Amino acid sequence: MSSPTRSGDSGATVSPQPALERKIGPLQATAINMTQMCGIGPFVTIPAMVATMGGPQAMFGWVIGAIVALADGLIWAELGASMPGAGGTYLYLREAFQYRTGRLMPFLFVWSAVLFIPLIMSTGIIGLVQYLGYLIPGVTDDGGVTALGKIIGIGVTLLIVLALFRKIGQIGKLTTVLFVVMLIAVLTTIVAAATHFSASQAFAFTPGAFSSAGDGTFWGGLGAGLIIAIYDYLGYNTSAYLGGEVRTPGRTLPRSIIFSIVGIMALYFLLQVGVLGSIPLEELKNATSVASTVLEQAWGTTTAKIVTVFIVVAAIGSVFAGLLGGSRVPFEAARDKVFLSVFAKLHPKLNLPTAGVLTMGAITIVGSLFTLTDVINAAVATLVIIQSLAQVAAIVVLRRRQPDLKRPYRQWLYPFPTLLALVGWVYIYVSATPLSIGLSVGWLVLGGIAYLIYAKTEKTWPFGPKEIKEAFASTETEGAQA
């Protein structure tokens, strides 16, 4: 794979740097996305969604969340197909915002991603420990995850990090297996729910649920519900983070993103309706392992325990896929000298970014020690302010600044999906808790200070000239997109 020309190149002959290998095909890319999206998420958040939105009307929260995710996914599809490389958003912000603010935006993204990506992964660890509570006494209690449960969560994270130390071709095959396990867990729960499904219970919408006023209505709880829904959909962009390791990215990335969102939306909707028709509403709002309860009602304790193991494995697969993609984000930034140089080093034999894997694994462990709701709110708020909203601006800027950029996929109905994503993300951000919003802004301010220190050291903007490098518009880089 050819490497784009980098700032500071002198034209002298240099030894080629170790390169990522393009080994991920369309099926594996879609499997990676869907495995990351549907790990433990819906199994632990369905009760919260129902409680937040006031009743069975929660099923529509998944549909609206999918619409926002799909609109954003079409942004990822165009940007990912045009600029396939390790790091995803880092590349898009680097190319779009270099004209006015130099390296500021890509730096802030990497600064934030090193925090929010592993935080999202830590929710998977928290969730799988909750389900282990159905299998192992003492892992959970009425107060949540016990000390024993947290120790188990740390151990599982360490095993996942260890599993990531292998070649990308092997990882692709492993992820496909985990994808199949996830499908078995979800579809089995849906079938189990269908065996004792009550339509009158599932569609017994709360009186006045869709009115425009009042607490506990659909509209009153939609903002908080969308935070839960979008958290459960996160992961449709994982293949874009791995753009430097995807074959024929111009075709593979858009398809993997769109197919994964539509497929997961169907699974989530069926799962939500099935659970609503199987478990009484008040019991459901306070449940901690809804899938195990549904399975036990349908086929007994033994079957419920077997499928619960599958759910735990699916959760492990989700964290595995998330850390796999997330670890590539600081790699490309470090290669551009926009982040710590240690993150630019590849493992000499496995060709994987060692520092990225280890750092994100460590932060995942720390995040797993907090409560699920707190981590979801903090992660989503941080993600929205520096990734989602910035990418909305990036696609517009690049259409204007680089009209000749090779775009194997162009967003359907542009700019409508982009505007829809903008409205959705703003609504989700202002619906987060005040603490989460404050933390996200505070982290961004710290990132700004860190950038000024970096910029002063590197003598780059605002302490030096901006260097404009339209890397993906160059003939050399276009060859990598074919």
Summarize pLDDT for 45-91 with one digit per residue, the tens. 998 899 888 889 999 999 999 999 999 999 999 999 999 987 789 99
pTM, whole model, 2 decimals? 0.85
In the predicted model, is pLDDT for residue 142 greater than 90?
no
- DSSP states of 291-357 as a string? HHHHHHHHH-HHHHHHHHHHHHHHHHHHHHHHHHHHTTHHHHHHHTTSS-GGGGPBPTTT-SBHHHH
Contact 231, 116 (CB under 8 A): no
In the predicted model, is pLDDT for residue 345 greater than 70?
yes
- pLDDT of res. 339: 87
Q: For 272-329, what is each residue's pLDDT tens digit?
A: 999 999 999 888 887 878 999 999 999 999 999 999 999 898 888 889 888 988 888 8
Question: What does the CA dihedral 54, 59, 62, 63 come to, rounded to 10 degrees?
Answer: -120
Question: What does the CA dihedral 24, 391, 39, 381 come to, rounded to 10 degrees?
Answer: 150
In the predicted model, is pLDDT for residue 336 greater than 70?
yes
Angle at 246 between CA 341 and CA 111, to 5 degrees: 35
Contact 368, 144 (CB under 8 A): no
